[in-house]
Chains A and B, each alone.
Chain A
Amino acid sequence: MTIPVEQAKWMYVTMVKIRYFEDEMEKAYGEGKSPVFNIGSGPVPGEMHLATGQEPAAVGICAHLTAEDTVTSPHRPHHHAIAKNVNLDKMAAEIFGKVTGLGKGKGGHMHLFDPAVKFSCGGIVGAGIPHAVGAALAAKMKKKDWVAVSFIGEGAANQGAFHESLNMAGLWKLPLIIVVENNDYGISVPKSASTAIESNDKRAAAYSNVAGAYVKDNDPAEMYRVSEEAVRRARNGEGPTIIEIETYRYLGHFQGDPELYREKDEVPALREKDPIVKWKTTLRNEFSVSEQEIEEMEKRAKRDVENAYRFARESEEPSLESALEDVFI
C-alpha cells in the first residue's frame, strides 16, 4: 500500500493546520488567566483539552473519509474536527462562545456539531461510541457504503459503552471503526495502572467480526495504511475494526493541569519525535515535494487558522434571550 502524494500533502497541511489551531488556542485560552489562573476568565473560559502532538491519529484515518462518513469525538476534539473538514470559522467562533459558532455559543469546545460533514463530539468518556454505532446502523439500513468512526482515548476502552458497542456492532457487522488514541494518560493515571490489557486493539478478539490493529510511535503513514484497510473492511460490510495508535500528549489533560504525575523530561523527549517534523522530511524525501510547496502549504494552513480566529473574535455575542431557544426544535 502506497500513499498517493495528494493524500500525503493533505495529511501534512492538515496536521500543520491542527498544530497552528491548537497553538493559537493555547494562547487565546491563556488570555485573562494570568497571573492568577481562573478557569472562568478570559475570552475562552471553561475547560480546554488540546490535542497538540496527537495529529497523526486524526489525519491518518480522515484521509479516507468523505463528508458522508460520520465521525464522533470526545472531549479533546479539535484535531478530529479539523481533519473531518468542519467549518473552521464556525468552530473557532463556537469555542469563543459567539453567535456565529456551530452551536450559537451553547456548546463550546467539548460540544461541537457540524452536520454538514457529520461531525459531533461530547464531554462524556466513551459516550460517542454508541452514536457512531447508530450512524453505522443508519448507513446499513439506507444501503449506503458510509462508515462511522469513533475517536476515543485509551481510558474510554474501560467504559461499558465501548464493550456494549463492539458487541452490538460485531453482531450486526456494522461499518464502525473505533480509533483509540493512546496518549498513555487518563488525566493523570497511566494506562499501566488502569488497563488489564497490553493494547486495546487486542480486545477485538473478544467479539466476532471485529478486527484489531496497532500503530506505534504516532506514525502518520502507518495510521494511514491501517485505516485504509479498516475503512475498506467497513465499506465492504465485513465489520468493525479497533485501531489503537500510540500517540503523544504534549500538554496537560487540560490547560492548567500542573502535570505533577509525569517527569519533567518526558514531554521534551516526546517533542523530539514530533510527527509533523518527521512528516515534512518524508514529504521532501519520499514524495519529492519541493521546499517551496511545503512553505505554501504551511502559509495556507496558517492563514486559514488566522482567519478563523479573527472571525471568532470579531463575531457578536449571542443575545441573552437565545439561551431560551433551541431546547425544542
Chain B
Amino acid sequence: MTTVKQRMLTGNKAMAEAIAIEMERNPNVFVLGEDVGKYGGIFGSTQGLIDRFGEQRVMDTPISETAFIGAAIGAAAEGMRPIVELMFVDFFGVCMDQIYNHMAKIPYMSGGNVKLPMVLMTAVGGGYSDAAQHSQTLYATFAHLPGMKVAAPSTPYDLKGMMASAIRDDNPVVFMFHKALQGLGWMDQLDAAVGEVPEGEYTVPLGKAKVVREGKDVTIVGLQMTVHYVLEAAAKLKEDGIDAEVIDLRSLVPLDRETIIESVKKTHRLVVVDEDYLSYGMTAEVSASVAEKALYDLEAPIRRIAVPDVPIPYNKKLEQFVLPNAGRIYDEVIQLMNE
C-alpha cells in the first residue's frame, strides 16, 4: 500500500517550490526582479530561492522595470528561461512597451523564428485598502493584447502546477498571482490561501478551465479570487435549493471557451464574476462567446459582476462596495433564477 503524503502550503510557498524544482531541472531558468533575493519577493513568491541557488540565478534588480523586463526578453532570445517579477501589476505603466511591443510581438514578427520562453509574474488584486495604484487586477489589459499567455490560478495546487507549465512553455507567459491568495502574514488570513500541494514535480496545463463545483441550475464563471466568492455563494444557494455549477477559468489566454459553453448548454443560465473593470473585460468576452455559440441555450439574460468602471477607492467600505463578493453573487443568482 502506498501512502500519499499530503501537505498544506500557502500560495506563495507553492509558487516558490515550483520555481525551485524547475531551477533544479534546468540550469537556464533564473529569476530577476525587485526584492526577489534576500527578501524573497514582496509577496513571497521567491522565498528561499537565493539560499539554494545563489545571487547569480536569483537576481535583485534596480527599480528599472523597462531595463530588467527588456533584459529578460534579451536573455530569453538567447535560450535562457527567465522568470521576471513585476512587483505590482499596476506598475505596468512604466514598462508596457517592453511587455506588449516586444515580449508579445517578437515571436510573431520573426515568423516564429525567435522564441521567448519567459515568465512575467506579477501580483494582482485588492481588498486591503491599497488604493487605486496598487489594487488592480488588469487581467483584460494583458489578455487583450495578442502574444502573451495569461494565467491566473486560484489555489496553491494550481499555482504550483501552472507555474511549472509556464516555465516550461516556449511562449511568454504572464503569470498573475493574487496577493490575498499568497498566505501572507500581513494580510487577512483566508482559508483559500492554504491548500494541499503534493511534493515533487507536476504540471497543470495552461488554457484549461476547471469545473470546481458541478451543478445543473446556473453556471457561474469566476477567476482567481472571485472563484472563492463564487463557491461561498454557491454553498448558500444550495441551501435555497439552487444547484450552481462553478467554473474556475484559471487562464485568460488561451481562454477555455468550450468548458463554459458546455456548462451553459447544461444549466441554461450564466453569471460571470470578475475582479477587473466591467467594460471591455473578461466578463464581456465570456458573455460574447456564449452569445455567439450558445445564445439559444440561455433561458435568461447573462449577468455580469465586476468593478463598476471606477478606480479602486482607498476607503475600506468604498472598496468593498466596488469589489465583487459572495453576497452580491448570491443576490444576482437569486434574481436571475426568478426571471
The answer to whether A113 and B113 touch (CB under 8 A), given A327-B108, A329-B107, is: yes
Contact B110 A165 (CB under 8 A): no
Question: In the complex, what distance in Å separates the CA atom of A165 from the CA atom of B62?
Answer: 10
Contact B77 A134 (CB under 8 A): yes
Q: 0/1 per residue, B306-335, Cβ < 8 Å to A?
A: 000000000000000000000000000000
A126-148 contacts to B (CB < 8 Å): 127, 129-139, 141-142, 148
Q: Is A187 an interface residue (CB 8 A)?
A: no
Distance to closest chain B CB from A88 (angstroms): 16
Name the A residues within 8 Å of B102 (CB-CB). 122, 124, 127, 131
Question: In the complex, what distance in Å separates the CA atom of A33 from the CA atom of B79?
Answer: 42
Complex interface: stretch among A40-48, A74-82, A102-110, A192-200: A102-110
Name the A residues within 8 Å of B82 (CB-CB). 134
List the A residue with the shortest CB-CB distance to B115.
A329
Contact B67 A133 (CB under 8 A): yes
Q: Is B98 an interface residue (CB 8 A)?
A: yes
Q: 0/1 per residue, A297-329, Cβ < 8 Å to B?
A: 000000000000000000000000000011111
Distance to closest chain A CB from B56 (angstroms): 7
Contact A134 B75 (CB under 8 A): yes
List the A residue with the shortest CB-CB distance to B146.
A327
The answer to whether A161 and B70 touch (CB under 8 A), given A138-B80, A327-B147, is: yes
List the B residue with the shortest CB-CB distance to A111.
B109
Question: What number of A-B contacts does a CB cutoff of 8 Å give?
Answer: 145
Distance to closest chain A CB from B78 (angstroms): 4
Question: In the complex, what distance in Å separates the CA atom of A118 from the CA atom of B113?
Answer: 11
Count chain A CB atoms within 10 A of each CB in B80, B110, B146 and give the residue with the most: B110
Q: B109 touches which one: A70, A113, A136, A325 (CB < 8 A)?
A: A113
Q: Is B218 an interface residue (CB 8 A)?
A: no
The answer to whether A168 and B61 touch (CB under 8 A), given A135-B75, A138-B74, is: yes
Distance to closest chain B CB from A177 (angstroms): 14
Name the B residues within 8 Å of A132 (CB-CB). 74
Name the A residues within 8 Å of B106 (CB-CB). 113, 120, 122
Question: In the complex, what distance in Å separates the CA atom of A138 from the CA atom of B102?
Answer: 18
Name the B residues within 8 Å of A134 (CB-CB). 70-78, 80, 82
Q: A164 touches which one: B67, B101, B109, B149 (CB < 8 A)?
A: B67
The answer to whether A101 and B62 touch (CB under 8 A), given A129-B70, A137-B74, A138-B78, is: no
Q: Is A206 an interface residue (CB 8 A)?
A: no
Distance to closest chain A CB from B172 (angstroms): 9
Distance to closest chain A CB from B33 (angstroms): 12
B68-117 contacts to A (CB < 8 Å): 68-80, 82, 97-98, 101-102, 106-115
Q: Is B141 an interface residue (CB 8 A)?
A: no
Q: 0/1 per residue, B39-82, Cβ < 8 Å to A?
A: 00000000000000000110001101011111111111111101
Question: In the complex, what distance in Å separates the CA atom of A35 from the CA atom of B110?
Answer: 34
Contact A130 B149 (CB under 8 A): no
Distance to closest chain B CB from A327 (angstroms): 5
Question: In the complex, what distance in Å separates the CA atom of A106 from the CA atom of B147?
Answer: 14
Question: In the complex, what distance in Å separates the CA atom of A329 from the CA atom of B171?
Answer: 6
Question: In the complex, what distance in Å separates the CA atom of A70 from the CA atom of B71?
Answer: 13
Contact B111 A101 (CB under 8 A): yes
Question: In the complex, what distance in Å separates the CA atom of A124 from the CA atom of B101?
Answer: 8
Name the A residues within 8 Å of B64 (CB-CB). 164-165, 167-168
10 A-B pairs in the complex with CB atoms less than 8 angstroms apart: A103-B111, A113-B111, A115-B110, A122-B106, A134-B71, A134-B82, A138-B74, A138-B75, A167-B62, A326-B111
Interface residues of A (CB under 8 A from B): 70, 72, 101-107, 111, 113-115, 118, 120, 122, 124, 127, 129-139, 141-142, 148, 160-161, 164-165, 167-168, 171, 325-329
Interface residues of B (CB under 8 A from A): 30, 56-57, 61-62, 64, 66-80, 82, 97-98, 101-102, 106-115, 146-147, 149, 170-171
4 shortest A-B CB distances, which residue pairs? Answer: A130-B70, A134-B74, A104-B111, A164-B67
